Amino acid sequence: MDCALGDIAGNRASIRARLATAAGQGASVIVFPECSLTGYGFGSRAEIAAHAEPYPGPSAQIVAEDCARLGVWCVYGFFESAGTKLFNSCALIGPNGPEACYRKLHLPRVGADRFTDPGDRPMAVHDLGGLKIGLHICFDGGFPETTRILALLGADIAILPTNWADKAMKSATLTPPVRALENHIYFAAVNRIGVESGFHYIGHSSITDFAGESLGRAFHDREEILYADIDPAAARDKLIVNIPGDYEIDRIHWRRPDMYGPLLEGKVFEGHGAG
């Protein structure tokens, strides 16, 4: 979808309309892009603060009424105010009301992320009554550790609301199938379209299965709703048997954590951009 910078009422109306449309087509989990409630291209922390909401806040409560009436789950992106902090967040709303809020961990030097605070909560997986989902946002998807953690926590599908612009085509085309394949889970990347603050957003939302195969990809230049069926049992069966006994693969249970020490030591390559 497209959205308008700073127009919370208008963007919220668009979210609610699409929520009803998708629910009418049988969708039970409906996901919107990063910052779909607010837009992304703010030029200062003060501008973000003027359009941020607490969680749960007014929009969460309104969307919760729709989710209760429709019997669905919804994920949408927004800027969250929490005391003096401002986070790039996504809300998880269910039939019983607001359920969780994920705060973006990795912040690129672009758009509003230049002025927000890094996420301060551990990654988590949420059970929606038989389907376990893990949330992360945009640049988080560029770090294999984030999806791997969600997989280790039991996610059947990793959901990535995002704002990928022109320079991010490789992220849109390569990240979803690679993350899905290496973790044997489904992956939903939900991008926006349109032009905002000098950036052109490229669409190409996608849903990928646990084998890295596409279940659907959106266009780059118009609004569209993708639908796919998710089989949690298939995502949880990590053993891939190509030839019984002779060609089997398990990328989760056959890891070697005892050899992964550098991942936890905070070592950084001292090149351009370090620190």
**If you count them, how many residues does the chain have?**
275
Q: DSSP readout, 180-227?
A: HHHHTSEEEEE--EEEETTEEEE---EEE-TTS-EEEE--SSS-----
β-bridge partners, 133:
126, 157
Q: How far apart are CA 205 and CA 160, in angstroms?
A: 10
Q: Residues 80, 99, 101, 104: which is the catalytic one?
A: 104
Question: Active site includes 74?
Answer: no
Using alpha carbons, list the distances in angstroms from residue 237 to 151, 173, 195, 210, 250: 12, 25, 41, 10, 9
48 burial via Cβ count (<10 Å: 0-12, 13-18, 19+): buried
Question: Active site includes 138?
Answer: yes
| Beta carbons of 41 and 199 less than 8 angstroms apart | yes
Helix (H, G, I), strand (E, B) or coil at 8: helix
Question: Active site includes 34?
Answer: yes
Q: How far apart are CA 251 and CA 181, in angstroms?
A: 9
Q: Residues 3, 34, 80, 101: which is the catalytic one?
A: 34
Extract the tokens encoding 274. Answer: 């370090």
Q: How far apart are CA 160 and CA 139, in angstroms?
A: 9
| Beta carbons of 41 and 69 less than 8 angstroms apart | no
Q: How far apart are CA 192 and CA 36, in angstroms?
A: 8
Q: Residues 3, 35, 90, 138: which is the catalytic one?
A: 138
* Catalytic residue annotation: 34, 104, 138
